Amino acid sequence: MRIPARGAGQESVLGALEGFRADDLKWRTGKAWAYVFDAGREAEEVCKKAYAAYLSENGLDPTAFPSLLRLENEIVGMMASHLNAGPEAVGNFTSGGTESIMLAVKSARDWAREKHPEIREPEMILPHTSHAAFQKAGHYLGVRGVPVAVDSETMRADPGAVRAAITPNTILLVASATSYAHGVIDPIGEIAALAAERGLLCHVDGCIGGFVLPYFRRLGAPIPDFDFAVRGVTSMSIDLHKYAFAAKGASVVLYRSKELRRHQIYACSTWTGYTIVNPTVQSTKSGGPLAGAWAVLHFIGDDGYLELCRRMLEATRELAAGIERIDGLRLAAQPDGNLLAFASDTVSVFHIADEMTERGWHVQPQLAFAESPATIHLSVNPSNTAWVREFLEDLRASVAAARLLPPSPLAAMAKTAVSSLAGVEISEQMIEQLLAMVGLRDRALPKRMAPIHELMNVIPPELRSKALIHFANGLFTPPR
Ligand SMILES: *Cc1c(COP(=O)(O)O)cnc(C)c1O
């Protein structure tokens, strides 16, 4: 493919882009329970206008664009008080939850290098339900993630298991409020107390729950202390591009004090170019996400968020109760906010997900891992709340339909094949055969995903990851 020989008109360019969306997830219907956080057209419009207005400003140098510095400091200030941080708290605006988490892990690593130079192979303790971003951060930064079991009833982190996993190499404990997969709050008080007692750092991942939990508490939900009000919590992440409804590319990482945040900032003075001092991973960065987030916080406002949270909380409770009334389904854990996951002991959740797709919904299947069975996840949005009754009716019908579908024979075959491979080095060729078995020869995913999910669900996690890398390595192939 080549750069077009001649420039085209604005209309034809923009029209082409619009056309490309035909096969995208139809999130505006309010029938998608993942991916897009939607508070309605008005909020979206304000956010987009502000984003476009600041698109070209460069966050590389906040002294050249004091407006961006002001927006960032104000947003960080709002999030700090939202999460009960004291006057010493500081933070930065980042491109997303993953970057916030990476920076928190980097700060912990470099803090430990200074405070504990004897630690050569730093470790962080990761409950099985903690977000994959921590493992990714560990992979990038050379901090070993030590996985620990969670309570299989509540799906909350188990402070006893965390305590038992602490070694002389431990630098950081991690807890979630709420966890993404099951939407539950870990016992933050106990985990943070443990960190304080051992002189360790403690990060609370509030990427998805941090913004809404203070509102749920004001609405009377039993939300335990989960933020900087808890002694021992040293850093937190909170995403604005989730339930603050900002455009994607908006999150905040917060620290109890500058003393810890100091380790996040990178400066380079050994090259021939302009001065480099980067608090975050990106260097040149658009002011768009920052302005979009600031605008939407001001447009919706505290009263607006409280009302949106009331709708989401009520809808989640109705969904949870409705799911428990459907024969064959059970909640994987009692949810603490507006996210939930359900499982089945008798029907394939992957077939249920396909049946829901047939009926115009998008739900998110999650593979079984450790204490968690295979589940279907729902992230509840304001735009979903009008659909609860219809959703539950279609879910009941989908369970009935899925019950009649036989489990894919591939999963059983794969299980046998994989067990015969124990100890054998997995080659690219074997992965290719595995993907071909489920019809994944080219890049298009089939409409019914159950055979693929069922296969992935039974193969060991290392093999899952290898297959995913192989798949992505093919997916991102430019047209020739
Ligand atoms: C979404 C999420 C993340 C990762 O955030 P991204 O914005 O997708 O990078 C981390 N932790 C939790 C709990 C999340 O829900």
Pocket test residue of 179, 208, 338, 366 for ligand 1, highest count of atoms within 8 A of CB: 208
178 Cα–ligand 1 center, Å: 10
Cβ of residue 183 lying under 6 Å from some atom of ligand 1: no
404 Cα–ligand 1 center, Å: 36
363 Cα–ligand 1 center, Å: 17
Cβ of residue 182 lying under 6 Å from some atom of ligand 1: no
Q: What is the mean pLDDT of the chain?
A: 95
Residue 376 backbone phi and psi in degrees, to 5: -115, 130
Pick the closest to residue 287 from 6, 69, 8 (CA basis).
69
User: Per residue in 71-94, pLDDT tens?
Assistant: 999 999 999 999 999 999 999 999
Note the pLDDT of residue 437: 76
Q: In this model, does residue 307 exceed pLDDT 90? A: yes
Mapping DSSP onto H, E and C, the string for 61-102 reads CCCCCHHHHHHHHHHHHHHHHHCCCCCCCEEEEECCHHHHHH
User: Per residue in 230-257, pLDDT tens?
Assistant: 999 999 999 999 999 999 999 999 999 9
223 secondary structure, DSSP code: P
326 secondary structure, DSSP code: S
Residue 237 backbone phi and psi in degrees, to 5: -120, 140
User: Per residue in 418-453, pLDDT tens?
Assistant: 777 777 777 888 888 877 777 776 667 888 999 899
Cβ of residue 180 lying under 6 Å from some atom of ligand 1: yes
Cβ of residue 176 lying under 6 Å from some atom of ligand 1: yes
Distant-in-sequence, close-in-space partners of 116: CB < 8 Å, separation ≥ 6:
171
Cβ of residue 186 lying under 6 Å from some atom of ligand 1: no
Cβ of residue 96 lying under 6 Å from some atom of ligand 1: yes
Of all protein residues, whose CA lies closest to atom 3 belonging to ligand 1? 97
Pick the closest to residue 291 from 62, 68, 60, 64 (CA basis).
68
User: Per residue in 185-199, pLDDT tens?
Assistant: 999 999 999 999 999
Note the pLDDT of residue 442: 65
207 Cα–ligand 1 center, Å: 5
Note the pLDDT of residue 438: 74
Cβ of residue 456 lying under 6 Å from some atom of ligand 1: no
Note the pLDDT of residue 258: 98
- Average pLDDT, stretch 375-389? 97
Q: In this model, does residue 48 exceed pLDDT 70? A: yes
3 Cα–ligand 1 center, Å: 35
pLDDT band at 415 (very low <50, low <70, confident <90, very high): confident
Note the pLDDT of residue 443: 66
CA 370 from centre of chain? 19
Which helix (H) or strand (E) segment holds residue 173: the answer is: strand 170-176
Pick the closest to residue 76 from 61, 64, 88, 89 (CA basis).
89
pLDDT band at 363 (very low <50, low <70, confident <90, very high): very high
pLDDT band at 412 (very low <50, low <70, confident <90, very high): confident
Q: Residue 251 CA: which ligand 1 atom is closest?
A: 7
Which helix (H) or strand (E) segment holds residue 12: the answer is: helix 10-20
Note the pLDDT of residue 60: 96
424 Cα–ligand 1 center, Å: 34
Note the pLDDT of residue 339: 98
Cβ of residue 207 lying under 6 Å from some atom of ligand 1: yes
Note the pLDDT of residue 440: 74
Q: In this model, does residue 133 exceed pLDDT 90? A: yes
Q: Residue 239 CA: which ligand 1 atom is closest?
A: 7
Nearest 5°: the CA angle 227, 253, 175 is 45
HSE-up (13 A, CA, CB side) for residue 200: 26
Pocket test residue of 36, 150, 239, 240 for ligand 1, highest count of atoms within 8 A of CB: 239
User: What share of the chain in percent tops pLDDT 90?
Assistant: 87
Note the pLDDT of residue 436: 79
